Structure 1
C-alpha cells in the first residue's frame, strides 16, 4: 500500500458546482483504480491524500501534473504505508473557510497528535493527522 500527499493552488477560485464536478470525476476514476483518499479545498488551495497501488498513484499524479485547474503542485509525502487511512472513501471531501484552511499550516501540539503508523516519519504522520482531523472532525462553526 502506498500513499501520496500533495498541495497545489487553484488557477481560479472554484464554484460549488465546479467542486462537485471535480469530486464526482475523482470518485469515479478512483473507484476504477482502487484508489482512496481525501481532498481539502480552501483559500484557493488544495491538499489531497491519495492511497493505493504505487503504479496507480504514479499514473494519477502524472495526470495531476498536467491538470490545468491548478498550479504549483508540491508533493509533501510519497511512501509505502501499512494500510489505508481512508479505506471507505473513494474521495472524502470537505470545503474549508479561509481561516480553517490556514489553520492547517499552524502549530499542532505534539500531545494532540496520534502518531500510530510505525513506518511514517513525524512529518508524514502530522500531515496524515491533519487530513484525518479536517475530514472526520470538522471544526465547530464560529
Structure 2
C-alpha cells in the first residue's frame, strides 16, 4: 500500500458545479481503480491524499499532471503506508477556508513551493488525521 500527497492551484476559480463534477469523476475513477483518499479545495488551491497500489497511483498522478483544471502540481509525499486511512471513501471532499489549509501539518503556501519543503516523514500521521477531520467537517452554509 502506498500514498501520494500533492498540492496544486486551480487554473480558474472553480464553481460549485465544477467542483461537484470533479468530485463525481474522481469518485467513479477511484472506485474503479481501488484508490481511496481525500481532496480539499479552498482559496483556489487543491490538496489531495491518494491511497492505493504504487503503480496505480503513479499512473494516476501522471494523468493528473495533464488535467487542465489545475496547474503547479507539486508532490509533497510519495511513500509506502501500512494501511489505508481513508478506506471508507473513494474520494472524501471538502471546501475549506485559507485558514483551514494553514492548519494542515506540512502545508506549504504556494509562494513557498520553490523553497525547501519540510520533511513530512514525521508529520504524515498528523497531516492525514487533519485531512480526515477537514473532510468530515460540516460544509459551511
Output the TM-score relative to the length of structure 2. 0.82
- Structure 2 match to 1:40: 40
Could you tell me which runs of 5 or more consecutive residues in structure 1 were left unpaired when the two chains were aligned.
108-119
Partners of 2:96 and 2:139 in 1: how far apart? Answer: 12
Q: 1:132 to 1:54 in 2, by over 3 A?
A: same
SS at match of 1:5: strand
- The question of whether the paired residues in 2 share the 8 Å contact of 1:4 and 1:57 is answered with yes
- The question of whether the paired residues in 1 share the 8 Å contact of 2:105 and 2:127 is answered with no
Alignment of 1:1-142 (within 5 A): 1-104=1-104, 121-136=121-136, 138=137
Partners of 2:139 and 2:15 in 1: how far apart? Answer: 23
String of CA shifts for 1:51-90, please: whole Å, max 9, x gaps: 0011110110001111111111111111110100000100
Partners of 2:103 and 2:5 in 1: how far apart? Answer: 17
Output the TM-score relative to the length of structure 1. 0.82
Partners of 2:32 and 2:139 in 1: how far apart? Answer: 34
Could you tell me which runs of 5 or more consecutive residues in structure 2 were left unpaired when the two chains were aligned.
108-119
Partners of 1:99 and 1:13 in 2: how far apart? Answer: 18
SS at match of 1:41: strand
SS at match of 1:122: coil
Partners of 1:18 and 1:75 in 2: how far apart? Answer: 23
Q: Aligned residues, how many?
A: 128
**Root mean square deviation, CA, Å:** 2.2
